[in-house]
Amino acid sequence: MSATTDPLLAESDERGTIGNIFHELSRIAKNPRGALSLTGIGALCIFAIFVPILWDVDPNWIERVPKNQTPSWEHPMGTDHISRDLLARNAAGLGRTVIIGLAAVTIGWIAGIALGYIAGWRGGLTDTLIMRGVDTLLAFPGILIAIVIITIMSGTFFGRGIVPLGAAIAIFNVSGMARLARAQVLRERERDYVEAARGVGASEQRILWRHVSVNTFGAFAVALPLAVVASVLTMAALNYLGLGTKPPDATLGQLLMDGGRYMRFAPHYVLGPVALMAILLLSLNFLSDVLSERLDPVRRKTGS
């Protein structure tokens, strides 16, 4: 009797890790939404990385030019309310927003996935205790929990700034990821390959972390872009409430908040952060949708 092998896995085995990455990117790029997503993400990466290198202007330096100056050759995106270059500040704000968002999501996901895996695999009292704690977090609006965390941490040696903001967004991600991880483990632990691994003497820890975790990757890959979107929006809301980064540090949310005060007199102030945030959020949403199609066999066969 011949063994049946998933063609996707067979192709993956023939290529190395780098080859797999480029292969998946090429498959995503063949989808119109995927091409838009990769183009948007690539453009944002180029902007955040190369503008600070090529446009050698300190984003916090106060220029000797008029405040709220409209775009010009010297300042392509204009200046802000205290005569700082908006091109430099938008590039710095985009980079800081993405770094904080990705770092916070990564930390929150590690904690949430670990809790969800343990709860789903162990079951019983362990599952009950972990999930009741998660349900308690979900009972409150995420933005409210973030405000409480930032308020508490601001009174410690951390003060107000990136660390409390990142911690709030990380905890914001724990509960949802724990529930997703638990659901994936509950689905996978009854599969035949789990029983086969037990039959050859594999330990429970090895089965969970080496076998089950690999087969739950798809759900997390689809959820990651959406988690970053939610984190960026939460960060913007916290900045709008005055609970984000400390001046003069810039994030897209901070630039939006500052620019909103001068919209009547300097509408160019908000155009940069609005455009960058729109491209970022739309690109990540498109990427999540394309990954969902790519990893869902039913949608992949129907081409929907």
Residues in the chain with pLDDT < 50? 1-13, 302, 304
Report pLDDT for 1. 40
Cβ–Cβ < 8 Å for 185, 116: yes
Report pLDDT for 297. 55
Report pLDDT for 106. 92
Q: How far is CA 140 from CA 22, 148, 172, in A?
A: 41, 11, 10
Q: What is the pLDDT of residues 166-197, one digit of tens each?
A: 888 998 889 889 999 999 999 888 888 888 88
Candidate CATH numbers 1.10.3720.10, 3.30.420.40, 3.40.50.300, 1.10.340.30; the one for domain 23-62+84-302: 1.10.3720.10
